[in-house]
Structure 1
Amino acid sequence: MSDSAHLEPPAKKRNIDPIAPTNHPWNLPAKVDLVHRCDRPEDSVLLIPREANLRIGAEAKRVVARVSQAVVAVASIDVHGHQLWRASGFIVEFDECSMTGTIFSSATVAQKIHMFPDIEKIKVYLFDGASYEATIKACDNHWNLLVLSVSFDRSVKTMNMVEISENRTAADVHLGGFMQQPHPACESLCSGDTIIGLGRLSEEPFGLQANCGVYSYERWSNLPRFCHEMQKATFINTYAAVGGPAINKNGQVIGMLFHDLDCTPFVPSNVILKWWEHFKKTGTYCRPTMRVFGANLHNVRSASWLKLPTSLYKGSDGFLVELTSRSVQLAGLQQKDLIVECNGEPVATSLQLFEILAENIGKMVEVTFVKAEDNSRRSVYLPVEEIPEGDFYSWPISQYDVY
């Protein structure tokens, strides 16, 4: 038998979807100097984990195999016919009558930047290399979400998205005896649960990337311009996986991947599904704000940058106010106040607060909070506004364009 008989067939004839091997941590440096001033020398550098990604075992491989063909590569094509920006995506809807599929990806792939060629079209690549031109149905630079519509010439697989409930266990050291009750309509996600990130390359052999880690309730970023609804997985993915799905151990999509140097942040499905539902109903994007920036109390307690007395709010959880607009301060809501209810519904996390605000854009909501100075419980009414373009979130897209 000749050597050519052992070669892998061309990508467009491949009927399996193997996980492409990747070397971690690719070409990332061992540490990165931080430019902002730090009080402690150990905070002046960011260490890049050498063993951040867990081994993908047999059970994880079976989960990946069930859903991998719904993971696609996405690329914008410039006027010269070259790939300009590349990302991943996942198919969430497919109509067998019209053979039309709906794909979620990152809006980064459709970005128009001065001094770069114009984008002529966006293409989607399946696991076997078959490519299709896509139509943009929605593109939101605040949430960095892109929705594409594709007319396929075959039936394609889809992925199931589920909302998550940020649950914690008695082993979580920052709870102070408080246990949050799980949201009955959401998939439970606890610190230490397995998360797998999937992505696909947009060139031969259109390989699948799969990175495994665990869910961490630790705060991803304390910068106001970064998405404070973002969740954190401990593995490190590549730039090409941005826009791909974060899945749980059952293969359900729990969010969309982004990129950072020492972990992988992801936007939860809760935000994506509310956003998409709102857009389909109204034709507008869902960008609610009360002009309040903060974090989950259990996240802040684990952050070294904010000195919060452990006795404050002991046995409680909620959304801790860190920055507010002048009008919100005048209404009575101040820094270190703890939001515990909104419109009579309990609030323990930023996701719960977002879901309530998303249903009340253009309306007034009653915000109930606990004052930091005396632990008294008070309420104010605040307007839910649309976030203006100048206040859109910034996004963790690394400058390392590596596979």
Structure 2
Amino acid sequence: MGNYFSIIIAMVYLIGAFVMPKWRQHKVNQDWKFFELLWFSLCFIVYVIYLETQLHSYYFLIPSALLLLFLFYYFKEKRRLINGLLFNLFLVIGMTYLGFLLVRTTNPLLMVMAGITGVVLLLLILIGLYALIAFLYWNAIVVMRKEGHSLANLLTLLLAIGLTAFLIFNHYSTRILPEWASLLFGILPLSIIYFSIVFYNFLTISVIYQFNQPKYNQDFIIVLGSGLIDGKTVPPLLGRRIEKAIQFYKAQSKATLNPPKILMSGGKGDDEHIAESIAMKNYALEKGIPEEDILVETNSKNTLENMKFSKEIMEKTFGGNDFHAIFTTNNFHLFRAGIFAKMANLNADGIGAKTAFYFLPNAFLREFVAIVMMHKRRHLIICGLIAVTMILFATAQFFLVSRY
């Protein structure tokens, strides 16, 4: 019976995986990858529950409860960092559960998945940090060649240099430092581990937030501005934001015959000849968007002001605050922009425009630094607790050695 059910599930999954792209071709939004992932997850969950019921046990309820907890918090408010932590807790408990289930069933599919996971984890343990450092140096060179030598473009290089120095000092510290001093040095790796966990949670929720599927009932699409070339020309990075808004504008127009207004948001910088929103409007006009469907917000200087001032324009245009709105920005900036929308009391989620791969590591690091600074008090307290704990251990070790 078990083999028959496995074959049936495999056939059902393969049929669905083949049909999914065909089905999405008939939709206005033809993106099929998100639905393909959902289909695989659904089939796998059904299969795991079947294996569990064959054993007359219900341990699958533990990871299921964590998944439901994540979904509850996520759909209640998507723009919260704790959602990344909850999802990663679900992954850790879920992987532990699958390992436990594998021991009990010796299921071939679970064995294959465990083998792949084991190889990946082994590689991460053996060469993970060294591979990361090599990648960061490579990425830093590419970014500097293509984007220039500004401080914002040097983050991957600075991180690579810092990690290299840490590895060298960590290698020799145990040989040249007394034990109590090595404990003091432990403040640094523990702080690195802490910020690595925070970064991983941030990256997780940033990726999940990319899967927003807004309904075609929007009244406004806010396009968040960025700097202009020579103070007057829309750069490719900003152009992709506008293109993403235009793509949604056309899709909703086709689906409902009721296009949203595109609200270009961005003021005039000190080194710019015109407001960013005016240049963005001109760009959209050249792409064939009717002028009556374009609004401009020309006073904002940062993302928070983008959201606040755009909200005022939308309320005035709509005649109230019960409108539907989304915003577009580059995918790496999407989650932090969502946080600013929440701070502005704007009920709007975002859709992200694709960014060149080489630019993403540096961009996500920049976003992470900004997120950390938004909650710097919390991080300072935790790092302070780490430091105090290690100082106490080092002090105890010092007096213990002195005594004996």
Which category of TM-score, normalised to the shorter sequence, fits these structures?
under 0.3
TM-score normalised by length of structure 2:
0.23
Could you say which structure has the larger radius of gyration? 2
TM-score normalised by length of structure 1:
0.23
Higher strand share: 1
Higher helix share: 2
